[in-house]
Amino acid sequence: MGTIIKPEDLQNPIVPIDPGFYKELLDRIGDGVYFVDRERRILYWNEGAYRLTGYKAEELLGKCCQDDILCHVDHSGKNLCQEGCLLAASISDGGLHEANIFLRHKQGRRVPVSVRVQPMRGADGSIIGAIEIFSDDSAEIAARRRYEAMSRLAFLDHLTQLPNRRFMEMSLQTELSEYQVHKDTLGVLVIDIDGFKAINDCFSHSCGDRALQEAAKTLTGSLRPTDIVGRWGGDEFLAIARNVSRELLSKLAERCVALIAQTSVPSNDDRRIYLSISVGAALARPGETAERLIQRADELMYRSKAGGPRRATTE
């Protein structure tokens, strides 16, 4: 005989609370979710957080977010875990906080994420911690489809999974033709990894390959979804930025420098090798050829390199 449900049961339902049910539910969503207590110790870490960061729950539970494991930074490269932590702010003022920031993946690259933080309250209403929900903000799905199409057409650099030189040359010619007709502003960035030969010589070529791969991923996340970044050759990258002013082009270049400076790769003996780049950025001029535009940006990049690492020069 089945269970009899009385009318009064429907008005005051009793739902059994099974923590395993909620864990399974949170693990199924694509967003990263984690809880911290008032001391910002991590109490819960879901599967979405693992997929987005590379860190498993057992690696982080009990650790403090201010230990700089994820090393949240803003668009200028400012370390938010030490100054400007959204979790600390939410615990302090009880408010909802949102931001678009960058976290550090376990492999060392920078991942752009949209973050929402709000306080967690106990039965008496007091704040007992905070929850952070973060999601990928890099238009990764669209990029993956583009890369698959380029791979079929031999336009993909297989080491970095970025467009190759052939694709970038074709794209720049197309964009310059559009610029000459419609006068929409166009800029290019020539980006070179500082000291790349030393990484290969001192740590091995496989370490150099990892540096190129992680730099490629960080650069993709540093630029706008409408920009194109590809491997130009060796340790050099080229980015094409549409509809930019000189000021915006300069900001994009500085952002790339700041976020690559926060990017690292492991050496074969588990030391961290922090990367840096030099950037030259130039706006297209009327009647200018692709060769001349890249030459000007390349000269600006070498001007940056002459001034020391982690510099960008815009013209």
pLDDT digits (tens, 9 = 90+) for 140-183: 556 666 666 766 667 889 899 899 999 999 999 999 988 887 77
200 SS3 class: helix
Instruction: Give pLDDT tens digits for 64-103.
Output: 887 878 888 888 888 888 888 999 999 999 999 999 899 9
CA distance 215 to 223: 12
Among all chains, which residue has been given the structure tokens 């030099």? 278
Can you give the C-alpha Rg of the chain in angstroms? 24
pTM score, two decimals?
A: 0.71
CA distance 288 to 278: 24
pLDDT band of 5, cuts 50, 70, 90:
very low
Q: Residue 22's pLDDT is what?
A: 56
pLDDT at residue 6 is higher than 80:
no
pLDDT band of 214, cuts 50, 70, 90:
very high
Average pLDDT rounded to a whole number, residues 255-280: 92
Please determine, looking at this structure, whether the domain spanning 7-136 carries the CATH number 3.30.450.20: yes
Do the strands 311-314 and 277-283 form a parallel or antiparallel pair, or are they unpaired?
Answer: parallel
Structure tokens at 235: 């340790």
Q: What residues are labeled active site?
A: 235
Q: Residue 241's pLDDT is what?
A: 96
DSSP letters, 142-203, are HHHHHHHHHHHTT-EETTTTEE-HHHHHHHHHHHHHHHHHH---EEEEEEEETTHHHHHHHH
Tell me, what amino acid is at 174?
T
Q: Is 1 exposed, middle or buried (CB count within 10 Å of its CB: 0-12, 13-18, 19+)?
A: exposed
Domain residue limits, the chain: 7-136, 140-314
Q: Which CATH class is domain 140-314?
A: alpha beta
Instruction: Give pLDDT tens digits for 112-123.
Output: 898 999 999 888
Matching fold, domains 7-136 and 140-314: no
